[in-house]
Amino acid sequence: MTESPASPSAMSEIGRLTGIFWEPKPVFQDLAARPRFWAPLILLTALSLVYIISFSRLVGWESMIRRQMDRNPRIQQLTPEQRERAVQQGLTLAAPLGYAGAAVGMTVASLVVAGVLLGAMNLLGGAGLKYRQAFSITVYSFLPSALASILALLVMFLKNPEDFDLQNPLPLNIGAFLSPAGTAAWLRAIGRSLDLFGLWIILLMALGFSTAAGKRLSFGKALVLVVVPWAVYVLAQASLAGLSVG
């Protein structure tokens, strides 16, 4: 049985939550020895719910649906009556799916990502880690998205509701600078994926797994094993975006 590097004494929960932003390596060393995930998972889920509730009250689902349909060439070919029916159909699904995603989305995403990365790190990187360690590393690595949610909330409160984009609230990715009218949907999807916070999360995951594995796995190899499944996911998203308007 392999051993994971352990910090000499347990960190406090506050120390882990704040340290992940300023000095993440000791946090991952602590998580490798004492896996924990409830605090960041609850925090991220709570922020997601606050974000969706605020969006529902300040912007509204109908505004989002109409904006998306205005960008879809297929929808523009429909008659006004057909477009209105499509809007109403979208409204019946948008809010329930939005709230469900906020409530369980982070948990489900973390479970899946942890499983995929654990398989990659153990099978291809020889990391010798357990799922609880991988899940803890994954959840803590997602913490920069809490900061992104807070910034997006500020933008939502300050910006004209008609101009707020739920899918791309912060101009911190290449997709924010691509015109919906002149850029293919698949290319905009890739652009949205090249996001400052997303890249931060990728680097944290690579550092987390390489730290937990110790000398068995280098940061460079861990980074490759994180980037490859992420790239596959991005390409799948881009393909779906292209098909939806193709």
Q: What pLDDT shows up at residue 241? A: 67
Q: What pLDDT shows up at residue 182? A: 65
Percent of the chain with pLDDT over 70: 91
Per-residue pLDDT tens over the stretch 224-240: 999 999 999 988 887 87
Tokens read off for 223: 């980074």
Percent of the chain with pLDDT over 90: 58
CA-based nearest residue to 146, from 18, 2, 1, 14: 18
Residue with tokens 């996001």: 195
Tokens read off for 58: 């300040």
Per-residue pLDDT tens over the stretch 78-130: 787 888 888 888 888 888 999 999 999 999 999 999 999 999 999 999 999 99
> Which of these ranges, 33-37, 51-55, 116-120, 161-165, has the smallest mean pLDDT?
161-165
- How many Cα atoms occupy the beta-carbon half-sphere of 129 within 13 Å? 40
pLDDT at residue 221 greater than cutoff 80: yes
Per-residue pLDDT tens over the stretch 180-205: 666 777 777 787 778 899 999 999 99
Q: What pLDDT shows up at residue 4? A: 46
> Which of these ranges, 26-30, 46-50, 144-148, 172-176, has the smallest mean pLDDT?
172-176
